[in-house]
Amino acid sequence: MDQRQDTSARPNPDDSPAHASWCVLVVDDDVTVRDVVRRYLEREGQRVLLAGDGETALAIIAEESPDLVVLDLMLPGADGIEVCTRIRRASTLPVIMLTALGEEHDRVLGLEVGADDYVTKPFSPRELTLRVLSVLRRTEAARATHRPPDVDRPLVDGDLAVDPAARRAELAGREIALTIREFDLLVFLMRNPSTAFTRTQLLERVWGWNFGDHSTVTVHVRRLREKIEPLPTKPARIVTVWGVGYRYEPRE
């Protein structure tokens, strides 16, 4: 953890510190990391719960229902991957994974099991705090009930039906289990059919970041394809635009 890097790249200005109060669970076996992150989040008015291992974290989630989990990958007992997998089996609770610097395989694996974001160690507590608030804001906005009518308009493409207001997606009449980011990405692409977007543009428009690792987008696209494409290796809906990024092609 590097507390000196507060001038590093960070989310858009619109995602500056919040006035709303949420409950954040910080899971890390390092007492110092837990304490520093707790202090930074509490300065922003957030309620913070702490856990030093995976099983304790799962118990707290079941009892306290936090709004977001900051989850270290390396934990005693059930590690971060197992904890995230178990969270995803039961809910779409936002998860930000903490991974070791340079361990790309671990970062990608974290995203593949459903993490919404990751931050590499050593990290700036300020940057992590802004990431947490950014994810929380987007989650709250997604659940807001007072939105323009066109925002909540159902999206239908053949056997794929998405209801943004209900946060529900169905394929051939069967509900699809999507994380918050997967759902937001799908809705964005379906609202902008036949338009090619770079990974940088998708990070800005869907994640709300003006920086970030493009593998975040790549993994989420792959996960979406596995859930909505008949042949994920030969996608017909979310197609790759070589040298650019991705484009959504309606089936009808």
- Are 183 and 167 within 8 A, CB to CB? yes
Give me the mean pLDDT over the 211-222 stretch. 81
Per-residue pLDDT at 179 = 82
156-162, long-range: CB < 8 A, 24+ apart: 157/190, 157/237, 157/250, 157/251, 157/252, 158/250, 158/251, 158/252, 159/251, 160/228, 160/237, 160/251, 162/186, 162/187, 162/190
The residues pairing with 36 across neighbouring beta strands, listed in sequence order, are none
* Residues making up the chain, counted from first to last: 252
What class is the 155-248 domain? mainly alpha
Answer yes or no: is pLDDT of 147 > 60. no
Pairing of the two strands 174-175 and 160-163? unpaired
Which residue, chain included where needed, has tokens 């304490």?
35
Dump pLDDT digits (tens) for 82-117: 999 988 887 788 999 998 766 677 777 778 888 888
Which residue, chain included where needed, has tokens 């960070």?
10
The residues pairing with 138 across neighbouring beta strands, listed in sequence order, are none
* Greater pLDDT, 106 or 226: 226
Q: Is 32 helix (H, G, I), strand (E, B) or coil?
A: helix
| Alpha carbons 23 and 45: distance in angstroms, whole number | 10
Q: Among 119-123, 149-153, 167-171, 211-215, which stretch is predicted with the lowest mean pLDDT?
A: 149-153
Per-residue pLDDT at 248 = 97
Measured over the CA atoms of residue 105, residue 110, residue 116 and residue 119, the dihedral's sign is: negative
Q: Among 62-71, 84-93, 169-178, 234-243, which stretch is predicted with the lowest mean pLDDT?
A: 84-93
Within the chain, how many helices (H) and strands (E) appear?
A: 8, 12
Fold: same for 13-143 and 155-248: no
Give me the mean pLDDT over the 4-24 stretch. 51
Per-residue pLDDT at 158 = 92
- 133: tokens are 């608030």
**What amino acid is encoded at 197 in this protein?**
F
From the number of C-beta atoms within 10 Å of its C-beta (0-12, 13-18, 19+), residue 150 rates as exposed
Q: How confident is the model at residue 132 (pLDDT cuts 50, 70, 90)?
A: very high
pTM: 0.62
Per-residue pLDDT at 9 = 37
Tell which residue, 39, 213, 182, has the closest CA to residue 120: 213
- Boundaries of every domain in the chain: 13-143, 155-248
- Domain 13-143 in CATH 3.40.50.2300? The answer is yes
Spatial neighbors of 198 by CB under 8 A, at least 6 apart, are: 244, 245
Tell which residue, 186, 166, 168, 180, has the closest CA to residue 67: 180
Answer yes or no: is pLDDT of 17 > 90. no
Dump pLDDT digits (tens) for 36-72: 999 999 999 999 999 999 999 999 998 888 999 999 9
